[in-house]
């Protein structure tokens, strides 16, 4: 399952690619959503940028998205609050 419902929203597995030319959602790689970010992978900048890109795609503010696992690697898990998994599925690419 790509989006795992929680009591306050859902969790989503990500593949974050830092150092890209621009920020974008790149689609699904299996059960992970690939996000390209221009920020470097230093001092949490790529994580913050990934949260912002995902939040923007879902129409939420950046504080609604938090990396909860994988802070120092490319494969991460984010928790999104304020939106159900069903609502998010309609907003994310297929």
- Tens of pLDDT, residue by residue over 55-67, are 999 999 989 999 9
Residue 21 backbone class (left: φ over 0; alpha: ψ -120 to 50; beta: rest)? alpha
Q: 78 vs 21, 34, 56, CA distance in Å?
A: 23, 12, 14
Which residues sit opposite 31 in a β-bridge? none
What is 3-91's CATH superfamily? YggU-like (3.30.1200.10)
Contacts of 84 (CB under 8 A, 6+ apart): 5, 9, 10
The conformation of residue 40, written as its DSSP 8-state character, comes to: -
pTM: 0.93
Question: Hey, where are the domains in the chain?
Answer: 3-91
Q: Which residue is listed with tokens 């597995």?
A: 13
Tens of pLDDT, residue by residue over 13-67, are: 999 999 999 999 999 999 999 999 999 999 999 999 999 999 999 999 989 999 9
Q: Which residue is listed with tokens 């974050």?
A: 16
């Amino acid at each position: 399952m790509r989006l795992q419902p929680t009591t306050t929203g859902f969790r989503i597995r990500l593949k974050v690619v830092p150092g890209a030319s621009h920020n974008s959602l790149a689609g699904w790689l299996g059960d992970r959503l690939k996000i390209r970010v221009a920020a470097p992978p230093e001092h949490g900048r790529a994580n913050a940028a990934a949260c912002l890109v995902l939040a923007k795609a879902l129409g939420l503010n950046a504080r609604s998205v938090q990396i909860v696992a994988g802070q120092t690697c490319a494969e991460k898990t984010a928790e999104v609050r304020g939106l159900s998994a069903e609502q998010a599925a309609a907003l994310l690419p297929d």
